[in-house]
Structure 1
Amino acid sequence: MVTATKSPAPETAATDAAEPTARQAAVLDAVLALMQEEGGQLTMTAVARRASCSKETLYKWFGDRDGLLTATVQWQASRVRAGRYDRQKLDASSLRDSLTDFAATWLSVISSPTSIALNRVAITDAASKEGNLGQIVLENGRFAIGARLKPVLEEGRAAGLLAFDDTEAAFRTFFGLVGRDVQIRLLLGDALRLGKAEIARDAAIATDQFLALYGRTDQKPAAA
C-alpha cells in the first residue's frame, strides 16, 4: 500500500460536487473501494493512503469526513441518469427512452458491489446513531435522484403524455416498479446477478408497466 504524501502542486476544489475533477474522482472511488473491503471502518488516513494524497488535501477538498462521504454518495448517485431529450419535441418515444435509460442506470448502480457496500454501511450507521451516513445517503441518493427524475415526469404530463395528480406518488410508483425486491435481496446477501441484458430487459418492462398505469393514449397537450 502506498504511503500518503504531500501533493506536489496545489490542487483546487471542484466547483460542482457532482462533477469532481479526475483526481477527486479517484479519491471518491478509493472511498467506495475501502467501504467494499472494510465496511464502516473508514478514516481520512486510510483514504489518503489508498488515494496517494495527503490528509490536508482531503480536508481542503471535502472539509471533513462527512463532507467526503457526501461527495462519495453524490458521485455514486451521479451515475443514475434521467435521460436526455428536447423538451420542445418530447413525444411518447423519447419519454419512454428517457424513463428506460433512468431505470437501466439505476438498476446498474444499485446492483454494483460498491453500492451494496455503501448501503450496508449506511444502514449500520443509521442503526447505531453514531454517524450521519444514513441521512447523507437519503439526501444525496434517493431524494436527489427523485429530484432529477420528477421534472421528466412533469414534462411528460405537460406534453399530454402522462396523467397524474401527485408527482411524488408517480415517482414512487416508477421507483418501485424498477427496483422491485432487487436492492433488499442484494443487501441481505442474495447471489442475484444482473447482467446488461437482464438490466435492459427489466428496465424496459418497468417502464412499460409505468406507462400502462400513467400513460395517456390520446397524447393531447394538457390543459393550462
Structure 2
Amino acid sequence: MATAPDETGDAFTERQQAVLDAVLALMVEEGGDVTMTMVARRASCSKESLYKWFGDRDGLLTATVRWQASKVRAGNYDRQRLDVLALRDSLTRFAANWLGVISSPTSIALNRFAIAQAGARGSNLGAIMLANGRFAIGERIKPVLEAGRDAGLIGFDDSETAFRSFLGLVGRDVQIRLLLGDRLTLSPAEIERDAARATDQFLALYGTGTAGPVSH
C-alpha cells in the first residue's frame, strides 16, 4: 500500500505535539499573536525547551503550521492495482480532511494572523504558511493524482493545474467566508457530503471513463 508523500507530524514527539496544540489554542484565544513566554506558560515547559526543539519564534510557527497541515491526508491506495473506486476514496478522504481543517477555529485564527502579518516588514509568517501549508499539501496529493493518470483513470497535462482545480471544487468559497467572519458551520456529515460531491465533480471533469481495476 502507498500514500502520497506526507509530513504527518510523526517527526514531533508527543510532548512537542502537545506544545504545538497549545500554540494553536493560544492563537484562537489571542488572535494569533503569541510569544514564546505565553507558549511556555500554557504548555508547562521552559522557554529553553522551546528554543531547543523549534529554534526561534519562526521555527515554532513553522512547526505549528506543519502540525496543522499534517492533519490533511489522502487515503491509502495501491498504486499497482488502482481502480476508480480506490482513487475516489483516496481523493474524498483528502477533501474531507482538508475541509475539516480549514473550517476549524485553529486554522481560521492561524490564517487570519498570517494575512494580517503578510504586509508587515520582517514577518515571515506568510511564506511559512505557504511553504508548509498550501504548497506542502499540494505535494502530498499530487502523487495520488499522478497515480490515477498513470492508471488511465484521469487525464491531465499538469499536476499543479489539476490539483488547483480539485482544491477549488472542494473549497468553493468556504475558507474566504470563514476568514471574513461568516458564521458558517460545517457538520461532519456536511463535510463528508461536500467532499464526495467535489470528488465526483473532479472525476467528471478529468475522468477518462475507465471504471475497472488497472494493474501494471
- In 1, Cα distance between equivalents of 2:147 and 2:212: 13
Q: How many angstroms does 1:82 deviate by?
A: 1.4
Q: Which runs of 5+ in 2 are unaligned?
A: 1-6
Residues 211-220 or 104-113, more deviating = 211-220
Higher relative contact order (Cα pairs below 8 Å, separated by 6+ residues) = 2
1:55 corresponds to which residue?
47
Q: Pick the structure with greater CA Rg.
A: 1
User: Is 2:103 aligned against 1:111?
Assistant: yes
One-letter identity of the residue aligned with 2:193: R
- In 1, Cα distance between equivalents of 2:73 and 2:121: 31
Runs of 4+ in structure 1 over 3 Å off: 218-222
Which residue of the other structure, out of 177, 187, 208, is the alignment partner of 2:200? 208
Residues 72-81 or 34-43, more deviating = 34-43
Cα distance change, pair 101–155 in 1 and its aligned pair in 2 (3 A): same
For residue 164 of structure 1, give the secondary structure of its aligned residue in structure 2. coil
* Count of aligned positions: 208
- In 1, Cα distance between equivalents of 2:186 and 2:32: 26
1:88 corresponds to which residue?
80
2:14 corresponds to which residue?
22
Q: How many angstroms does 1:18 deviate by?
A: 2.4
Q: How many angstroms does 1:128 deviate by?
A: 2.1
Deviation track 1:82-133 (CA, whole Å, cap 9, x = no partner) reads 1111111110000000000000000000000000000000000102234111
Q: How does 1:1-224 map to 2 (within 5 A)?
A: 18-19=9-10, 20-218=12-210
Deviation track 1:137-156 (CA, whole Å, cap 9, x = no partner) reads 10000000000000000000
- In 2, Cα distance between equivalents of 1:179 and 1:129: 30
- In 1, Cα distance between equivalents of 2:39 and 2:163: 36
> Percent identity between the aligned chains?
73
- In 2, Cα distance between equivalents of 1:219 and 1:163: 14
- In 2, Cα distance between equivalents of 1:211 and 1:101: 14
Q: Which runs of 5+ in 1 are unaligned?
A: 1-15
For residue 118 of structure 2, give the secondary structure of its aligned residue in structure 1. helix
Deviation track 1:60-101 (CA, whole Å, cap 9, x = no partner) reads 000110000000000000000111111111100000000000
- In 2, Cα distance between equivalents of 1:60 and 1:47: 14
CA RMSD, Structure 1 to Structure 2 (Å): 1.7
- In 1, Cα distance between equivalents of 2:167 and 2:88: 15
- In 1, Cα distance between equivalents of 2:40 and 2:132: 23
- In 2, Cα distance between equivalents of 1:99 and 1:196: 17
- In 1, Cα distance between equivalents of 2:15 and 2:49: 11
- In 2, Cα distance between equivalents of 1:163 and 1:138: 27
Cα distance change, pair 120–17 in 1 and its aligned pair in 2 (3 A): same
One-letter identity of the residue aligned with 1:33: A
